Amino acid sequence: MPDPESARDLARKLVEARLAACVNVMSPCRSIYRWQGELNEDGEIPLFIKTSAENYDRLEAFVRENHPYELPELVAMNITRGLPGYLAWLAEETTEQP
């Protein structure tokens, strides 16, 4: 995210929509990258989004619609193990409520 306000806004929306159980708004960092043939360096606020595999497609669509970047960084990592209570909480918080 380009700034703390937009990072917090997206994080809150993801949790409110139950697309994420928790979103960590990380410390500002510098990103150096090549975009459309040019070398760039910008400040960014990374988000660490915790959700279930079942929610990935909905989460991706939501991020694409609500993120200010043309091509946001969104990568998924499989959870192979975890504290059972934490994983149960994550599943409960990312399940749509009636």
> Tell me: the pLDDT tens digits for 13-47?
999 999 999 999 999 999 999 999 999 999 999 99
CB distance 3 to 45 below 8 Å: yes
Percent of the chain scored above 70 by pLDDT? 100
The model's pTM: 0.90
- The sign of the torsion formed by the CA atoms of 6, 12, 90, 94 equals negative
For residue 8, give the amino acid letter. Answer: R
pLDDT for position 96: 82
Cα of 62 vs its chain's centroid, Å: 10
Residue 97 confidence class, pLDDT cut points 50, 70, 90: confident
How many residues belong to the chain?
A: 98
pLDDT for position 54: 92
In angstroms, the CA 74 to CA 67 distance is: 11
C-alpha angle with apex 98: 10 to 93, nearest 5 degrees?
45
Domains of the chain: 4-93 (3.30.70.120)
> Tell me: the pLDDT tens digits for 45-88?
999 999 999 999 999 999 999 999 999 999 999 999 999 999 99
